[in-house]
Amino acid sequence: MAALEPMYRDLANGQTLLSPRVDNIAPTAHPGGYYGFKHMGGTWPARKIQALRINSDVVTHPLVAGKPRRVKQPLAPGRDGKGRWVGLVLLFSTETGALLAMFPDGVMQRLRVGSASGLALKHLAREDVSTLALIGTGWQAGAQLMAARAVRRFRKVRVFSPRAESRAAFAAQHENIELVDTLEACVEGADVILAATSSLVRVIEPQWLRPGMHIGCIKLQEIDGEVLGRCDRVLVHNRQQAKQISNVLAGTPNVRTESSEGWWKDPKHSYPDLGDLLAGKTPGRCEESEITCFANNVGTGLQFAAAGAAVLEKARRMKIGTELPDDWFSEDVHP
C-alpha cells in the first residue's frame, strides 16, 4: 500500500500514463476454452519506471457449485510435467530504455489488488468496524483479508466459499478466521463485506446492505446496479481505464459473459476513483450511516509500475534474482 499510494496521487494529478488494457480472445484447442492474451502498461515518470504486465492464458468457464467461474488453465510446461500459468511483469527504465527486470505476476497480482482495496477501505470503512465477511477463499481472497486487517482491527472474520475443502485450505493459511458454510451466516451482522471470487454472476445481495456498512468487490460481476443503487458513496479503482476486448474470430466460446453487458457500461454508474480519493479530490466516508462501496473494477499497468519499482529496489538490496546479460535484451542496430 505504501508503494502504491504515491502513484495514485500522481495518477489523479495527470503525472502518469496508462496504456489501454487489451484482451485478445482467440480459439484454442483446449476443450471449452479460449486463448486470452492481455496486457496493460503504465508509465510513472516520478519513479522513472515503465511497466508492462502480460498474461497469456487458456481460459475456461466451468460451473462451480452451479455458478459459472472464470478459470485459467495451467497448460504451460513446467518441471516434473506439472502445468503452469503465464503472467509476466516487465520493467523498463524511462531514462535509458533498458529492460530492468522481468518476473512472474502472480504474487504481485494479488498484492496490488489487495492494496487497492485496502487503501479504499482505509478511507471508506468506519473506524470502529468489528466484523468482516469475506466471500471467497482463493488467491485473491487472501490478499483482501491481509489488506483489510492492515488498515482496520477486526474482532471477527467470517469466511465463506461453496466448497469445504477450499475453506479448509484457506484456514490453514490465515489465522483467527471463522469458516461458515452459508452466505447468510457469513454476512450476518458484518460491518464490511468483501467479495473476492472469480464469479461471473452477482455475489453480494442488495438486501444484505445496512447503514454504516462498507462493501468491496474485485470483479465487476460480483455486484450489479441494484447493489450500487443502495450505496451512498461508491468509488471505483480507475475510471479512465476500460477493457478493450478484441474477439472477432469464429469458434471462441463464452466470452460475452465476461465483458459486454453490465452496470459498468451504464453512464449513470460513473464514480470517482481511488486516485481522486488519495489525491484529496473526492472525500472518503462522510457520515457514520453511509453505505460505502469500492468496486475494484479494472487493474492498471501503473499498479505494476509502482509495486514493481518497490520489488526491484528490494530485490537489488537483498541481491535476489538472476542477473542476465544486458545484451540479451537490447540491440546494436537502430530498430
Nine-digit cell at 226? 441494484
Give 145 or 215: the residue with its C-beta nearer to a second copy. 145
Give 75 or 185: the residue with its C-beta nearer to a second copy. 75
Minimum gap (Å) between residue 59 Cβ and a second copy: 9
Give 138 or 284: the residue with its C-beta nearer to a second copy. 138
Distance CA 317, CA 132 (A): 36
Give 156 or 239: the residue with its C-beta nearer to a second copy. 239
Minimum gap (Å) between residue 178 Cβ and a second copy: 25
Give 37 or 264: the residue with its C-beta nearer to a second copy. 37
User: Who's near 135: CB < 8 A, 6+ residues apart?
Assistant: 141, 160, 161, 183, 186, 187, 193, 194, 195, 196, 197, 203, 204
Nine-digit cell at 168? 479448509
Minimum gap (Å) between residue 214 Cβ and a second copy: 27
User: Who's near 4: CB < 8 A, 6+ residues apart?
Assistant: 112, 115, 116, 119, 303, 306, 307
- At residue 69's C-alpha, the angle toward residues 63 and 71, to 5°, is 110
Minimum gap (Å) between residue 149 Cβ and a second copy: 21
Distance CA 150, CA 104 (A): 25
Minimum gap (Å) between residue 296 Cβ and a second copy: 15
Nine-digit cell at 142? 487472501
